[in-house]
Homo-oligomer: A and B are copies of this chain.
Amino acid sequence: MPGFELTDIPTAEIDRAEAEIQPLVDTLREVVDATIRTCVGADQLQLAQQELESALARLQADQFDGPAGVKFNSEGRSWNWGNTVVGQRNAMAPPLRITHVRPGLAHAKADLGAVYEGPPGLVHGGVTALLLDHLMGETASAGHTRVTLTGTLSLRYVKGARLGPVRLDAHIDREDGRKVYVLARLSDAEGVCTEADGVFIVPRWFAESQ
């Protein structure tokens, strides 16, 4: 499987590694937010910068090359630490918290702060697309039982989504061979903001391996 890498690391070890780095990721997410919203002077910015440089040197002292990829072990545990939307180590990920109700039906929540702004006070339209694409792909994967890639994605923006808590809903509408048709929407506290439909493709290499 191209890039989906089977490793022999036990689930307990992955859980421990994730727990160890979680506080760092949480704080980093706050630093990203604070860097947008800070009003402190040049001297404090410089001192903060030096502290970040020091942390950076520590983290880079030993690191793997390239992106994190998608790994899984023989127990069926998978991890994609760098994923932009749900990666456990990715401070850019809100993260989106996904609930798979059953294969083909999922919903998700996120709390979107200053980092996700497009028009003033509103979620960037492209962030809406990013989150919907991800949830729809996971929904198409029928509870992670198959690999799917985005084929087409169409979005209708009904109204701007306010920054703050958002909810996403997605379900498989129908399937046709390797094509999975998914419908979804993103809502803020005041109702539906964006509706989406997409076609997700089960790659031939995956379909033929089943």
Contacts and interface: CB of A to CB of B under 8 A. Distances in A.
9 contacts: A5-B120, A28-B35, A35-B59, A37-B66, A38-B63, A47-B55, A67-B120, A80-B117, A126-B129
Interface string A116-146: 1111111011110111111001000000000
Given A121-B69, A124-B130, A156-B152, A58 B30 contact: no
Contact of A62 (B39, B132, B157): B39
A98 interface: no
Identify the 9 closest CB pairs spanning chains A and B, nearest first.
Answer: A3-B120, A126-B130, A126-B133, A129-B129, A125-B150, A34-B59, A67-B114, A48-B55, A51-B55
A44 B126 CA distance: 36
A20 B5 CA distance: 43
A163 B67 contact: yes
Given A36-B87, A63-B38, A51 B54 contact: yes
Contacts of A171: none
Given A49-B27, A126-B129, A114 B68 contact: yes
Interface of A: 2-5, 20-21, 23-25, 27-28, 30-32, 34-40, 42, 44-45, 47-49, 51-56, 58-70, 80-85, 87, 89-92, 113-122, 124-127, 129-134, 137, 149-157, 160, 163
Contacts of A133: 124-126, 129
A133 B119 CA distance: 13
Give this chain's copy count. Answer: 2
B2 A83 contact: no
Given A3-B121, A24-B52, A68 B36 contact: yes
B69 A120 contact: yes
B126 A85 contact: yes
